[in-house]
Structure formats: C-alpha cells, structure tokens
Amino acid sequence: MNASDTQQRHELKVDLVAVVAAVIDGDPRALTIRRGSALPAGPFELGHRSLQAGLRDWVEQQTGHPLGYIEQLYTFADRDRIAEEHARRAISISYLGLTRDEWSASQPPRDWQSWYGYFPWEDHRAGAPSIIADAILPHLKAWTEEAGGTAREERRQRIAIAFGVDDRPWNEELVLQRYELLYEAALVEEALRGRGEEHTPPVPGRPMIADHRRILATGIARLRTKIKYRPVVFELMPPVFTLLQLQRAVEALAGRLVHKQNFRRLIEQQELVEETGETTFETGGRPAKLFRFRPAVLMERTAAGTKLSVTRA
C-alpha cells in the first residue's frame, strides 16, 4: 500500500562499511578511523567496478591498508538508527576483511583498536568478565521487570541464552544478540542518542558513530562462527608460526581459551598445516616447531569443509 502510493524518488545513498580484523600482540583488533570512533566507510559510487572494489578503495584511501580476503556481512537500513546522523536515509552494506598488520616503517601507523574496548563483556579468556555479573545482568534484570506479561518472560529467555545464565553455556558467537539486547535495554551510549538523555551509559564499552558498533559486532560474530568450519585464520597469521601462536590467535578471536593438546590434535588431523622443518627458540621453554599452511588448503578455502572447533580449555 504505502509502497505504491508514495511516489518518491527511488534513489538512495549506499554506503560501504568495512570491519577489518587482525590479531596484533595477542589482541583481536579492528581497523578504525577518527581515533577509534568509526569504521572505514564511504559511499558506493558509479565509478566503482563492484561493491567489493568500492570497499577496497575506501579502506585503502582512509587507512592506507590494502585488503586481502573480504566477504559480505549484512546490509542495514534501519531508519531509527541512522536518523540522527544523516538527514537522508542511507543503506549500509558491510563487509568483513581479514589481514595481517604488515606495516612498513615508511607507512603511517594504522589505527588498530582492540575489539574488547568496544565489547568488554566479550573477552572470556581470563574467565567471565566481572562487569557481566556486576553491571550488565542487574541492569538487564531491571529491564525485564519493566515489561509485563509474555514480554517479560521472553526478555528473560533472550538474556539467559545470550549471556549464559542458569547453567547455560557461554556461547561466544552471540556477539550481535548481546549488543542488541544492551541496545534495546538502553544500556549502551548509542541507544541514548537524540533522546535528550545524554548521560553516561550504565554499561562500559566504547561507542562508535551511527551504527558502526553494531556492524562491528556483526563482523565479530561472523568471524567467530566462521573459524569453526572454514580455514580463515590463515589470513590473520604470518606465513610461518608455531602451533601455540595459532592457538593464541584463535583464542583471541573466540574470546575463550582452548585445550592445548586437543587443539593440536585437531589441527594436525585436519592436515591444515605442515612443518617447515625449523624450530624457534623465541617462545621461552622448549623450542617449538614452525609450521606453515598447506598450499592445498589455501586453494580449497572457498569450498572445503574444515572444522576448527573451539574446544574448551
């Protein structure tokens, strides 16, 4: 009805937004601009050969970083979320990119920000962060009380699943669901904007412009899901590495520790890597064998079914 009656211009602004991930100094990071307040982004223009090409252009232009592997994430267009930023309505097509931070001294340093500055509740490598029990759950509980009838039970249920309440396991993949819950409960800064209540949000975690933090959450969730069944960690690792370094990278992304022995067994039985024949003494204790990814794996990554399940520590 409204679609056909309303005769308006059918043209819209289309933005490309990039979540570019790398593991640096044992931390999972995202490439940002404006001192961490935004993701690299720019409009899709007629000069771009494709969406991907446009995205690469913008990222390289804004950060100086060339992109390797990228994949599409999601297309957003919620009027509510963007209304305050742009008078006009816009569509954001988001992508996930994976790289290493291969900076040369001649390049300006890039603005890599740790994921967990934006999502402090997502890093469970040293156990569940205390802010979950101290700040998040109490506020969410209060939020369930606000609702009545079936809505209250539904909220309780969503919270229990997302944050692993009452003996439910923590599921590291539900990054977006958790952020959305906090947004709906108005516990993050983005939810308070333009409401005249610009007070400090009750839950720590750095905000971003527009819905960039939501897009970042989408990218993290996708990556956490994907490492389990596709060999994508490769894109984030240097050409040669030890198994523990690989494990630390996976742990950084997943935000949880894994069982070392089982991790190695998994890696080796999947035939993802091969020994280079050399060892490194830089790791502290007994020298570790160095590995590289098997070329066949790099080729098959499009379709091969590889599982790199994040087993518990």
Partner DNA sequence: CAACTTATACTCAGTCGTAGCATAAGGAGA
Partner DNA sequence: TCTCCTTATGCTACGACTGAGTATAAGTTG
* CA distance linking residue 266 with residue 211, whole number of Å: 37
Least distance to its own copies, CB of residue 58, Å: 6
* Comparison of 131 and 243: residue with beta carbon closer to DNA: 243
Alpha helices in 186-259 (DSSP H): 189-192, 212-226, 243-254
Query: CB-wise, 7 or 261, nearer to DNA?
Result: 261
Binding mask 291-310 for DNA (x = CB under 7 A): ----------------x-x-
Residue type (1 letter), 14: V
Q: How far is the CB of 311 from DNA (least distance, A)?
A: 3
Comparison of 106 and 261: residue with beta carbon closer to DNA: 261
Contact of 137 with 129, CB cutoff 8 Å: no
Axis crossing angle, helix 137-146 with helix 149-163, rounded to the nearest 10? 160
Least distance in angstroms from the C-beta of 286 to DNA: 3
The contact mask relative to DNA for 247-286 (x = CB under 7 A, - = no) is: ------------xxxx-xxx--x---------x-x-xxxx
- Measured CA to CA, the distance from residue 234 to residue 27 in angstroms comes to 16
Q: Which of 34, 24, 37 is nearest to 216 (CA)?
A: 37
Candidates 157, 287, 296, 298; binder of DNA (CB under 7 A) is: 287
Least separation in angstroms between CB 203 and DNA:
29
- Shortest distance in whole angstroms from residue 93 CB to its own copies: 5
Residue 75, contacted partner among its own copies, DNA, none, CB below 5-8 A by kind: its own copies
At position 166, the amino acid (one-letter code) is D
Nearest approach in angstroms of CB 230 to DNA is 14
For 133, residues 6+ apart whose C-beta sits below 8 A from its C-beta are none
- The site partner of 311 among DNA, its own copies, none (C-beta below 5 to 8 Å per kind) is DNA
User: Cβ(104)–Cβ(90) under 8 Å?
Assistant: no
**Contact of 116 with 249, CB cutoff 8 Å:** no
Residue 13 engages DNA in binding (rule: CB under 7 A): no
CA distance 8 to 203: 41
Q: Which residues bind DNA (CB under 7 A)?
A: 242-244, 259-262, 264-266, 269, 279, 281, 283-289, 307, 309, 311-313
